[in-house]
Structure 1
């Protein structure tokens, strides 16, 4: 589920970057996705 969300946000970021769509909103969403991804990686290491 997390990988799907990250993939979708990354594609939207690329489209926004290439075609200048939605301004900075897509960049903010990408940063949020990156923070969530890093948090999940750290939380996964503690459990395993």
Structure 2
């Protein structure tokens, strides 16, 4: 996993360009439901803490 996340702080990869939906931590359950039911073309949700 560390190899996967290494490019993010360097700016080589911007994960926000792949984000289709954003959720606060309080709504993480909503994100899982949407992913499980494939609602609203959700592909990559971003959970903020």
Asked if these proteins are the same fold (TM beyond 0.5), I'd say: no
- What TM-score do the two structures reach when normalised by structure 1? 0.36
> More helix per residue: 1 or 2?
1
> More strand per residue: 1 or 2?
2
- What TM-score do the two structures reach when normalised by structure 2? 0.36
